[in-house]
Amino acid sequence: MPSRFHTIIEPFRIKTVEPIRHTTRAERETALRAAGYNLFLLKAEDVLIDLLTDSGTGAMSSNQWSGMMQGDESYAGARSFYRFEATAREITGYAQIIPTHQGRAAERILFANTCRKGDVVPNNTHFDTTRANLEALGVTAVDLRCPEGMQPQLVAPFKGNIDLAALEKTLTENRDRVPFAMITVTNNSGGGQPVSLANIRGARNLCHRHGIPLFLDACRFAENAWFIKQRETGCADRTPAAIAREMFGYADGCTMSAKKDGMANIGGFLALNDATLAAKCKNTLVLTEGFPTYGGLAGYDLEAIAVGLREALDEDYLRYRIRSVAYLGDKLTAGGVPIIQPPGGHAIYIDARAMLPHIPPEEFPAWALSLVLYLEGGVRSVEIGSVMFGHQPDGTEKPAAMELVRLAFPRRVYTQSHVDYLAEVILHVHSLRRRIRGLRLVDAPPLLRHFTARLAPVHNALLALQD
Ligand code: F0G
């Protein structure tokens, strides 16, 4: 990094391009209606800038593509597996590396071999699939976000932390019913906020005092390590890799979606030290994912992940990545848009409850906002609010803790002009905010309903003609 110049550039040049397509507002209105007012049900080619997720949507590097050409597709004992295993071992320090087709498969396999009906699993904040996989087994998933994490506008360095006092209480009150605790880095559903080394260490000490293991949900471990480098005392001169290794070292294992900080389009793994538990997990793996040296992945996927895991820890890349998100955050903050502060690692989260106080939670303010961002600017985001989390396992409805719209950045895909356009669209929608109206559910499955639910505007239109 040249010290003389301050502009943070994309640390790559573009070798392959994929066109994106402008649509008219009328076309988007028709597309929305056809999709049952659910952005998941749109055709991707009707989206101009797709910030639905940072999962599996990144651009791979020329090194990843050349690694893929060397993929060994042997059913058992493929060279690609050993390359993948060596990298994952080196980065995490865990002895047992079990490949899976994505993160939720690692979760399901771990949970199936550790949890019983009636158990309780604490986490700083469970991601939706993590929660759903636990609830499907009759386990109660409890979110123990630290108090700062509950205040969207508050600027604090580690708002992703788990509440250690609440963790202690949960462990004490549910003796013999907590098979393990988890910490999600960064805390995705909590605003992409980082977790400090001190907090992971504190959780480890509590868990070990209670005789239970701690697992990391490590999807965005590299981004978390970067924030620690920037914000935690004594870490400024350490490499992201060394910090990541310390994070992993406090836990007994991790679940990982390589679609995030693995820089791959598909893949994941479960990693742990306990050989007995690993043997059980591998048996489950064979049933549904595949033989333990490929776990539902092609040899070339394992190669892409082996290269990608290292690239995710590159300092120039992390500096550019975190800065692009903060750049959008700065523009929105300057324009008065309420977002979770400070900006997260992989995404900006608009606080729809603050922006649209006239829409009650039963009419899904964050969902409405995400639809209007698409309608006005062709931008696809995702609601993290009461459509995603409002339906309780006992069949009742309860408003989510926050009503958020997440704009997640695919890795190495969009450039600064895309971000400038995004800021323009969001500020325009912000100027229309009093005209935005809510929605009601028309049809929804009981689990993970946001993926397939169909909705309708409560007042026939998403935007009223006037305030
Ligand atoms: N844990 C976290 C924190 C996640 O963000 C995700 C996925 C998973 C687990 C599951 O991994 O998709 O590979 O099965 N998050 C994506 C997102 C889908 O959009 O945030 P997966």
Residue nearest to atom 18 of ligand 1 (CA): 55
State the Cα–Cα distance between residues 96 and 110, nearest whole angstrom. 13
The burial of 435, by beta-carbon neighbours within 10 Å (0-12 exposed, 13-18 middle, 19 or more buried), is given as middle
Residue nearest to atom 11 of ligand 1 (CA): 103
**Ordered alpha helix ranges (H), 255-360:** 275-288, 299-311, 315-334, 352-355
Q: Which of 129, 195, 270 to mutate for ligand 1's pocket (most ligand atoms within 8 Å of CB)?
A: 129
Q: How far is the CA of 230 from the centre of ligand 1 (A)?
A: 25
Atom of ligand 1 nearest to the CA of 54: 19
Strand partners, 120: 140
Residue 350 has a pLDDT of 97
**CA 148 to chain centroid:** 20
The token pair at 47 is 């989206």
Q: Which residues line ligand 1 (CB under 6 A)?
A: 53, 55, 102-104, 127, 129-130, 184, 188, 217, 219, 257, 259, 268, 408
Residue 1 has a pLDDT of 54
Residue 189 has a pLDDT of 81
State the Cα–Cα distance between residues 309 and 258, nearest whole angstrom. 8
pLDDT tens-digit series, residues 21-61: 999 999 999 999 999 999 999 999 999 999 999 999 999 99
Q: How far is the CA of 51 from the centre of ligand 1 (A)?
A: 14
Domain boundaries, the chain: 25-54+314-457, 62-311
Residue 288 has a pLDDT of 92
Residue 2 has a pLDDT of 57
Q: How far is the CA of 48 from the centre of ligand 1 (A)?
A: 23
Q: Which of 257, 346, 405 to mutate for ligand 1's pocket (most ligand atoms within 8 Å of CB)?
A: 257
Q: Coil, strand, or helix at residue 350? A: strand
State the Cα–Cα distance between residues 390 and 38, nearest whole angstrom. 16
State the Cα–Cα distance between residues 409 and 419, nearest whole angstrom. 10
pTM: 0.95
Q: Which fold has domain 62-311?
A: Aspartate Aminotransferase; domain 2 (3.40.640)
Atom of ligand 1 nearest to the CA of 346: 20
Q: Which of 39, 195, 260 to mutate for ligand 1's pocket (most ligand atoms within 8 Å of CB)?
A: 260
Q: How far is the CA of 109 from the centre of ligand 1 (A)?
A: 15
Residue 389 has a pLDDT of 87
List Cβ<8 Å contacts ≥24 apart for 62-67: 62/15, 63/307, 63/311, 64/263, 64/264, 64/303, 64/304, 64/307, 64/308, 64/311, 67/300, 67/303, 67/304, 67/306, 67/307
Q: How far is the CA of 4 from the centre of ligand 1 (A)?
A: 38
Q: How far is the CA of 19 from the centre of ligand 1 (A)?
A: 26
Q: b/e map of 376-401 (b: 16 or more CB within 10 Å)? A: bbbbbbbbbbbbbbbbebeeeeeebb
Atom of ligand 1 nearest to the CA of 268: 13
Q: How far is the CA of 193 from the centre of ligand 1 (A)?
A: 15
Residue nearest to atom 12 of ligand 1 (CA): 103
Q: How far is the CA of 59 from the centre of ligand 1 (A)?
A: 18
The token pair at 406 is 């997440």
CB 343 within 8 A of CB 329: yes
Q: How far is the CA of 103 from the centre of ligand 1 (A)?
A: 6
Residue nearest to atom 1 of ligand 1 (CA): 127
Residue 191 has a pLDDT of 87
CA dihedral for 242, 244, 249, 250, sign (positive or negative): positive
Residues of the chain with pLDDT under 70: 1-2
Q: Which fold has domain 25-54+314-457?
A: Aspartate Aminotransferase, domain 1 (3.90.1150)
Strand partners, 404: 351, 384
Atom of ligand 1 nearest to the CA of 382: 19
Q: Coil, strand, or helix at residue 40? A: helix
Q: How far is the CA of 197 from the centre of ligand 1 (A)?
A: 22
Residue nearest to atom 19 of ligand 1 (CA): 53
Q: How far is the CA of 150 from the centre of ligand 1 (A)?
A: 21
Residue 50 has a pLDDT of 98
